[in-house]
Amino acid sequence: MKKPNILFIVTDQQQRGTLSCYDADTLCQTPNLDQLASEGIVFDNAYTSFPVCTPARASMQTGMYPFKHGMQNNSYSPGCLVNELPHTDYLLSKQLKKAGYSVGHTGKWHLGHGEIDRSEFERNLKYIEFPELAIHTRSMPTDVGYEGDDFPGHGSGGWAYPQFHDYLKENNLELKIENKISGHYGGHYAAEVTSPVETTIEHYLTNRAIHYMDQFMEREQPFMMAVHFWGPHEPYIAPSDTLALYRDVSIPPWASFYEDQKDKPGIHDVQRSKIRDWEVFESYVKHYYAVMTHIDRQVGRLVNYLKEKNIYEDTVIIFCADHGESLGVHGGLCDKGFFMYDETCRIPLMVKPQSGGGEGGRVAEEMVGTCDLYATMLDYAGIHELHPGADGRSIRELVKGQVPEDWPDAVVTEFTGLGSLLYSQRMIRMGDYKYVFNSGDTDELYNLKEDPHELTNLAVNKSYDEVLVRMRRRLESWMEEHEDHLIVEYRQMRLR
């Protein structure tokens, strides 16, 4: 079988419950992704390496957990040991190029700032002499081997980049963002694009992806095209046509929205919304859903492009999110980080194989993670030996319906902090149980089969002491196997 093309589509901060293949009762409309799921393999137990943008995205590029690649917070934030993605030979882009692929990237990067005025940083960060900036280190996609677009930093939805505004000007388009609502958490807000859909950042990114794939198809080699949408991460800015689908829809509150927080870690409060009235919060959910439906339509455009070019059957499509979104669960939690609930750590992941590469329409139950995506794309490219320190392994056999006897029985999510608040956590999922090590707070233990909404913390229930010890020991063995440096402190605090 010849090497397939790879279309790698990544959303930012997407809750997997927005897709009907994960939640049959969801009110979020994603018909194109529903169709892709019916033709591909849906991974039901996929977890992010770290529920924050920069660390998770660096894991996709390196195949390593953040405690190894060093980007353990959003770049240029406290606790982030590395602020510009290092130009190592084992980066995904460089490995794929060696395998004969054209490699493209457009959209969110968040693995480097390039040239930046430090006065633009907030608070004390403006005074720090970052070594990367001092020696003019630059890690944009085109610096590490990709052909495509360089969008430095976080992007805040991508709406302010000069390339986007050049596109609007060249096409005589005027962007209008109106009807803004805010006040539920920090600087988060929602709004409506009242100008044509062609003025949205998502439409623009899809145009850019098609532009690069057109170029790649002129060559006699396969391609990997990465399309990283900024949405549905806040700001929840949705076009009128998809927002209209939800204006008159009543979305019921999450099962955990009015949770009383009994036996839950106090650290969760740092990300809690000021809004405790679901009727008020519901509007943000509608905007979030509308952004997701808009992205779904762009996915449809990408799929249609592959079909029109007669390369759909020869292309592996990998769709996932970097991490999830709380969106008001568990008493109004917002954003991500500081809690390890499934809404933020368990991600959507589906793979549509090339013709003959696996039978679609299946659900895979095996434990997989972000680091496996790196190994999988290299596997499709014909690279089977990974670099020292790589944590993931290819899920290609799982896509084929074949489960290796030694496939891991557990998956782990890491966390070391967000913004200026540093806080170490590790979550391990094994079987029906999830255990969360909260370094300075109450640990958590949930039975996801009996308690899918994670309402009851079993770690404080003496009758589950045996399960708690077993999960703690399994986490210890995982940490030892993967060379997690937190193991020293973890043993001292939980295993003496």
- pLDDT of amino acid 130: 85
Burial class (CB in 10 A: 0-12, 13-18, 19+), 129: exposed
- pLDDT of amino acid 125: 81
Instruction: Judge if pTM exceeds 0.85.
Output: yes
* Strand ranges across the sheet with 444-447: 410-418, 421-430, 433-438, 444-447
Distances (CA, A) of 211 to 137, 143, 315, 319: 28, 20, 17, 20
Architecture of domain 5-403: 3-Layer(aba) Sandwich (3.40)
Question: pLDDT of 197-240, one tens digit each?
Answer: 999 999 999 999 999 999 999 999 999 999 999 999 999 999 99
For residues 176 and 399, give the distance between their C-alpha atoms in angstroms, rounded to a whole number: 43
Tokens of 155: 């992007």
Question: pLDDT of 98-108, one tens digit each?
Answer: 999 999 999 99
- pLDDT of amino acid 387: 97
135-151 average pLDDT score: 95
- Averaged pLDDT of the chain: 96
Tokens of 210: 């098609």
User: How would you classify the pairing of strands 189-193 and 236-239?
Assistant: parallel
- pLDDT of amino acid 319: 98
Of 181-195, 246-260, 304-318, 466-480, the poorest mean pLDDT is in 181-195
Q: Omega before 31 cis (within 30°)?
A: no
User: Band of the pLDDT at 7, cuts 50, 70, 90?
Assistant: very high
291, pLDDT greater than 90: yes
Tokens of 373: 């995506």
User: Band of the pLDDT at 74, cuts 50, 70, 90?
Assistant: very high
Parse the chain into domains and list their residue ranges.
5-403
- First vs last C-alpha separation in the chain: 53
- pLDDT of amino acid 133: 82
